[in-house]
Amino acid sequence: MRVIVVGAGILGASTAYHLAREGCDVTLIDRADEGRATAAGAGIVCPWGSPIEDAPTYTLLAGGARYYPDFTAMLAEDGEQDLGYARVGGLYVPADPAELDAVERRVRFRATDWPVGHVERLAPSQANALFPPLRPHQPALFVSGGARVDGRRLAAALRRAAVKHGARFVIGSAELVLKGNRASGVRVEGEVMEADFVVIAAGAWAPKMLEPTGLSLPVAPQRGQIVHLRRPGTDTARWPVLMPLNSYYLLAFEDSRVVVGASRETNSGFDHRLTAAGVAEVLNAGLAVAPGLASWTLHEIRIGFRPLADDNRPKLGPVPGVDNLLVGNGLGPSGLTMGPYCGRLLAEAVLGKSVDFGPFALGRRT
């Protein structure tokens, strides 16, 4: 089966990888636009304390977390281990310590179904021992099953692994080609590439591409500015993910680097600028939680455009009235948690397996 996947971020790359592994003739196409969410993102895989109330979305998040161990083992079999992934644990550190009770109840309630691991309340001294820059007098809830991942490295590994299984990776701008009520391929730089199935996973850029189908995809770009700090010589490899229970997070990687993110700038459009207000917002939020980072070097600032759905619920599945066309989009700030898993689901749907996209189904065409 010939399959074209448009969009080589985490969702598209995962879809292409799973399909190539199953023997499909896969072409993965990407425009390499500035501001791709995956390339900017640093992912937290620790959904169990999340206050999210939408049950289908939480189930997808938790399914993504549960899938990661098998997923990374599969990539390792294909020789890909440079993912920036590590199960370092997660620390919930709300500004109001009284919130820890509610967080612990959520985590323990969800622990029966998902790989939460060991759950423990920590005194401030114990929390500081795990994440030294953390503010003093901060109690925390530690969840050993939490993990972090580098979006840029993971997506690159998926593309390499897909190519090892025979996929082709093409840089170019794709336009959807329809024949009657069927997707028949794409046009890239004037050349038509035919396929038996097309998957559109083009993030915040997808609505424009889907216009020929009559589908109005309710997804818009949300700018995120993400700050990277470094202090050479500091061993940060096993520092846990820090979650203050607001829209910000801190996580560390093995190269003496801490990432502080991220702004959530709705109605930003595709404005690629770094802004003083956005960077200040992120730094102020990060330093409020971890003042020990104040003397660290400002290493890098990344920008990404999250594909944010109007109802904050992912959009997955076939386009009504158009055969042989699947869409994956709207993962918002949770793309690196659920993207690999959603890619597997899309691949299974292409292969004719039964996948229930019901809660995430696309609306009618206009």
CB 226 within 8 A of CB 247: no
Gyration radius from the chain CA atoms: 20
Q: Which amino acid type is present at position 123?
A: A
pLDDT of residue 81: 96
How confident is the model over 296-351, as pLDDT tens digits? 999 999 999 999 999 999 999 999 999 999 999 999 999 999 999 999 999 999 99
Rounded mean pLDDT of 218-229? 95
What is the band of 112 on the pLDDT scale with cuts at 50, 70, 90? Answer: confident
CB atoms within 10 A of CB 351: 16
pLDDT of residue 32: 80
pLDDT of residue 43: 87
pLDDT of residue 39: 67
pLDDT of residue 95: 86
Residues sharing a CB contact under 8 Å with residue 173, sequence separation 6 or more, in sequence order: 31, 188, 189
Computed over every residue of the chain, the mean pLDDT equals 94
Q: How far apart are the first and last CA of the chain?
A: 30
- For strands 257-261 and 219-230, give the pairing: antiparallel
Is the pLDDT assigned to residue 233 strictly greater than 60? yes
Residue 16 belongs to what H/E stretch? helix 10-21
CA 216 to chain centre: 23
> Residue 358 burial by CB count (10 A; 0-12/13-18/19+): exposed, middle or buried?
exposed
Of 169, 149, 9, 162, give the one whose Cα is nearest residue 78. 162
Is the pLDDT assigned to residue 98 strictly greater than 60? yes
- Please tell me the total number of residues recorded for the chain in this structure: 366
Helices (H) and strands (E) in the chain, counts: 9, 19
How confident is the model over 73-90, as pLDDT tens digits? 999 999 999 999 999 999
pLDDT of residue 41: 74
Return the structure tokens found at 241: 């993910």
Which domains are assigned to the chain?
2-38+153-217+311-360 (3.50.50.60), 86-146+220-309 (3.30.9.10)
pLDDT of residue 51: 83
What is the band of 130 on the pLDDT scale with cuts at 50, 70, 90? Answer: very high
In this structure, the dihedral spanned by the alpha carbons of residues 66, 337, 60 and 81, taken in order and rounded to 10 degrees, is -40
121 DSSP β-pair partners: 141
What is the band of 365 on the pLDDT scale with cuts at 50, 70, 90? Answer: low
Q: Which amino acid type is present at position 347?
A: A
CA distance 331 to 334: 6
What is the band of 366 on the pLDDT scale with cuts at 50, 70, 90? Answer: very low
CA distance 198 to 176: 9
Going 282 to 286 to 292 to 297, the CA torsion angle's sign is negative
How confident is the model over 25-47, as pLDDT tens digits? 999 999 987 656 666 777 899 99
CA distance 103 to 96: 12
What is the band of 245 on the pLDDT scale with cuts at 50, 70, 90? Answer: confident
Rounded mean pLDDT of 139-164? 96
